[in-house]
A and B are shown apart, each in its own frame.
Chain A
Amino acid sequence: QVQLQESGPGLVKPSETLSLTCTVSGGSISSYYWSWIRQPAGKGLEWIGRIYTSGSTNYNPSLKSRVTMSVDTSKNQFSLKLSSVTAADTAVYYCAREPWVITTFYGMDVWGQGTTVTVSS
């Protein structure tokens, strides 16, 4: 079955750029939307944004100015960059798959295990 694995530095300095990659295994990255979600310790889920395999993106308006997402279909990977990070960006970061058929949303049905990113000097 399809599995997702987040990877990237666990520690990022304030004002620098957080970079994470999600690798899709057991299936193709093509023809799906792929989302990034984060969760500060003890808090709720925050959607960061999504990317389609064509490269089309949608971002959370509250983070839009700092977020860039990309996809590499040849590697079955998609990536997140979050610039100018502060301590408020410390969280567990998840990637997830969004299956859609035309206009039907089938939920975020596959999630990575999450990776903890701490912003600290």
Chain B
Amino acid sequence: EIVLTQSPGTLSLSPGERATLSCRASQSVSSSYLAWYQQKPGQAPRLLIYGASSRATGIPDRFSGSGSGTDFTLTISRLEPEDFAVYYCQQYGSSSIFTFGPGTKVDIK
């Protein structure tokens, strides 16, 4: 089973700053099967990125995804107040199983 590790656990930034979130896999992951989600308190997760770098419908272009193999990155170019949330990466593996990373919390500095 592929294990996903996200870093940092918490990222404290100010609005307008750039956020760089990391997702590392214990073994190589197909980029086609790597997604990112945003979750705010009391809400369901929201799909941001699929296929490692494709934005989901309605997602602002300040969100971008990159990476391949075992290292993937979610970048928020300029943080807006509504972007402070928890972000999860997710992968789909060869045994038709999904796993999520533990999450990175982006909070206001």
Which A residues contact B (CB, under 8 angstroms)? 35, 37, 44-47, 50, 58, 60-61, 94, 103-109, 111-114
Q: Which chain B residues lie closer than 8 Å to A103 at the CB level?
A: 32
Which of B13-21, B74-82, B95-103 lies at the interface with chain A? B95-103
With contact pairs A35-B98, A47-B99 given, residues A111 and B44 touching in the complex (Cβ less than 8 Å): yes
Asked if A105 and B51 make an inter-chain contact with CB atoms under 8 angstroms apart, the answer reads yes
Q: How large is the interface on B (under 10, 10 to 19, 20 to 34, 35 or more residues)?
A: 20 to 34
B44–A112 contact, CB under 8 A? Answer: yes
CB <8 Å contact, B44 and A113: yes
**Interchain CB contact (< 8 A) of A58 among B37, B90, B96, B101:** B96
Beta-carbon nearest neighbor of A6 in chain B = B44
Verify A105–B33 contact, CB threshold 8 A: yes
Q: Are A107 and B96 in contact (CB under 8 A)?
A: no
Give complex CA distance A50, B92 in Å: 12
Q: How far is the CA of A108 from the CA of B33 in the complex (A)?
A: 11
